[in-house]
Chains A and B, each alone.
Chain A
Amino acid sequence: MQEKELKKEQGPPVISIQGLYKSFGELDVLRGVDLEINKGENVVVLGRSGSGKSVLIKIISGLLKPDKGSVNVLGKEVDTLNEKDLRALRMKIGFSFQSSALYDSMNVRENLEFPLVRTVKGLGRKEIDQRVEETLDAVGLLDKLDQMPSDLSGGQRKRIGIARTLMLKPEIMLYDEPTAGLDPITCIEINNLINEVQTRYNASGIVITHDLSCAKVTGDRVAMLLDGKFTRQGTFEEVFNTDDAQIKAFYNYNFIE
């Protein structure tokens, strides 16, 4: 397994989060999250189940509102945007759901063109078809064009879900556990896809995962969400070269046991 070479690119961060708090009733999920992501950089977010990783990216995409703190994406404070501006920002963000969230009542083609025909005006049938086929080809599932989501396997659904988010050529990709529950070979395919998206579209990204091999391959940087904040950030080596028992446990679970 090859660790990624560090990418260095200057310019303002595409995502900048400061002092983010979020709780649900009594449950304090995020307690002072700080995070910066640079242009073209993939950051892996690790953390135990229920630590608030999904909540974090839902706040970034404006699905949930923060209780406190600043969330700045591509220069915009997400929670202050009106409906129209939020929609404009979301065109630049691709969100791949933990559950894939494909539209069951539509086939693969309709799933992919759904965001495109509604947000980009004046596209002809031919251009739409071409874009759909191009994107499906990029995830290696061109032959599934006319299938219904219920006829696909879990890994295929994940890839179609990622393809759907690529239709709008996003600048930022948010992957929620892209490899969870998949066999090792499919995991490698998805990891490669994530890296390819990064280079092909020069996209930045957040990759949430429990899977350290995925973290190692896709992450330029790793951030560990513990007790509601990022306690450790850095390269894969930096984060795991520690005596902290909780972090060691995380590592051991993946590689030794």
Chain B
Amino acid sequence: MLSKGLDDYFIGVYNAYKFIARFFRQAFQGPFEFREIVRQCYEVGYKSLPLITLTGFVIGMVFTKQSRPSLIAFGATSWLPSLIAIATIRALAPLVTGLITSGKVGSHIGAEIGSMKVTEQIDAMEVSATNPFRFLVVTRVIATTFMIPVLAMYCGFVGMMGSFLNIYQNEKTSFSTFIAEAFKQITFLDIGASLIKATAFGFTIGIVGTYKGYHATQGTQGVGKAANAAVVLSMFLIFVEELVIVQVSNWFRN
């Protein structure tokens, strides 16, 4: 065998692969835990709204404010709406939503499943002839995969509103002009790519959180570790996915 670190790495990759394969096998196979899926969508989506609202709004507003001076230099402040729309919808909304929810939702999932693991609740489900994977993992991953894109769209919308408020204060642009200007440069490819990105982020957050929780060890200490590892790993993967998807969608653009 090679060094122990390398071994562990490949065993980890193999386990993660098995975990994901198991998810896909069970996600499309009844019986479905509809009630739990709805509850998880509420947990993931609705409970993240305040944070996403605040962040989206502030980002839209501040980004507009900070971009203005460099456009004034060219007398081109009328470009502001489309500039902000491109930045927000193509890049910021999905990425910011992904990062924020990987902190908020990912750590919550990691800690919740991790504590169920170390207190033997998952074993208890297993021995009572039920399927804990279906009840705990499948429901959460489905919820994040569907809710993160919704949150990202919402984040984009709120960001644009923040931007409009700032533009309205300074340039007195009307709402209809702002919207018309903003969407001049936005194509379906942009929105589609963003939604795909957000879906990938959502899936990543769900899988990483549940995987880390499901494999938690060493008592309560392990719960904290699982939550922490869920955030770090999902953020890392989100950046990787961002780079890959941007690259691929740029090929389509040309």
| Residues of chain A whose beta carbon lies under 8 Å from any beta carbon of chain B | 58, 61-63, 87-88, 90-91, 93, 95, 97-99, 101-105, 114-115, 118-119, 164-165, 168
With contact pairs A114-B130, A118-B130, A119-B130 given, residues A99 and B125 touching in the complex (Cβ less than 8 Å): no
Per the 8 Å Cβ criterion, residues 94-128 of B in contact with A are 112, 115-116, 119-121, 123-128
Q: Is the CB of A63 within 8 A of B129?
A: no
Tell me, in angstroms, the Cα distance from A97 to B125 when the chains sit together: 11
Q: Is the CB of A91 within 8 A of B129?
A: yes
Q: Is the CB of B129 within 8 A of A61?
A: no
Which residues on A sit within 8 Å (CB–CB) of B112?
105
Nearest A residue (CB) for B127? A95
Tell me, in angstroms, the Cα distance from A58 to B127 when the chains sit together: 9
Q: Is the CB of A101 within 8 A of B129?
A: no
Q: Is the CB of A63 within 8 A of B126?
A: yes
Nearest-Cβ distance from residue B133 to partner chain A, whole angstroms? 10
Nearest A residue (CB) for B134? A118
Q: Is the CB of B120 within 8 A of A87?
A: no
Q: Is the CB of A95 within 8 A of B121?
A: no
Nearest A residue (CB) for B120? A101
Which residues on B sit within 8 Å (CB–CB) of A102?
121
Tell me, in angstroms, the Cα distance from A171 to B244 when the chains sit together: 55
Q: Is the CB of B127 within 8 A of A90?
A: yes
Tell me, in angstroms, the Cα distance from A74 to B237 when the chains sit together: 47
Complex A-B: 13 CB contacts under 8 Å = A87-B131, A95-B127, A97-B123, A99-B120, A101-B121, A104-B119, A114-B125, A115-B130, A118-B31, A118-B129, A118-B135, A119-B128, A119-B130
Q: Is the CB of A104 within 8 A of B121?
A: yes
Tell me, in angstroms, the Cα distance from A95 to B128 when the chains sit together: 8
Nearest A residue (CB) for B31? A118
Tell me, in angstroms, the Cα distance from A91 to B127 when the chains sit together: 8
Tell me, in angstroms, the Cα distance from A119 to B31 when the chains sit together: 11
Tell me, in angstroms, the Cα distance from A3 to B176 when the chains sit together: 88
Chain B residues within 8 Å of chain A by Cβ, number:
17
Nearest-Cβ distance from residue A178 to partner chain B, whole angstroms? 15
Which residues on B sit within 8 Å (CB–CB) of A164?
124, 128
**Of A58, A103, A115, A168, which is within 8 A of B121 by CB?**
A103
Q: Is the CB of B129 within 8 A of A168?
A: yes
Tell me, in angstroms, the Cα distance from A101 to B128 when the chains sit together: 12
Tell me, in angstroms, the Cα distance from A62 to B123 when the chains sit together: 10
- Known contacts A87-B131, A101-B123, A102-B121; 15 additional CB pairs below 8 A are A58-B123, A63-B126, A87-B129, A88-B129, A90-B129, A97-B120, A97-B124, A114-B130, A115-B128, A115-B129, A115-B130, A118-B130, A118-B135, A119-B128, A164-B128
Which residues on B sit within 8 Å (CB–CB) of A58?
123
Tell me, in angstroms, the Cα distance from A218 to B116 when the chains sit together: 31
Which residues on B sit within 8 Å (CB–CB) of A114?
125, 128, 130
Q: Is the CB of A168 within 8 A of B120?
A: no
Q: Is the CB of B130 within 8 A of A101?
A: no
Nearest-Cβ distance from residue B122 to partner chain A, whole angstroms? 9
Most buried by B among A58, A91, A93, A97: A97
Tell me, in angstroms, the Cα distance from A115 to B126 when the chains sit together: 10
Q: Is the CB of A101 within 8 A of B126?
A: no
Nearest-Cβ distance from residue A54 to partner chain B, whole angstroms? 10
Q: Is the CB of A165 within 8 A of B120?
A: no
Nearest-Cβ distance from residue A78 to partner chain B, whole angstroms? 12
Nearest-Cβ distance from residue B115 to partner chain A, whole angstroms? 8
Which residues on B sit within 8 Å (CB–CB) of A61?
127
Most buried by B among A63, A114, A118, A168: A118
Nearest-Cβ distance from residue A233 to partner chain B, whole angstroms? 25
Tell me, in angstroms, the Cα distance from A119 to B130 when the chains sit together: 7
Q: Is the CB of B125 within 8 A of A93?
A: no
Tell me, in angstroms, the Cα distance from A93 to B124 when the chains sit together: 12
**Of B123, B126, B128, which is within 8 A of A168 by CB?**
B128
Nearest B residue (CB) for A64? B123
Nearest-Cβ distance from residue B18 to partner chain A, whole angstroms? 14
Which residues on A sit within 8 Å (CB–CB) of B31?
118
Which residues on A sit within 8 Å (CB–CB) of B116?
103-104
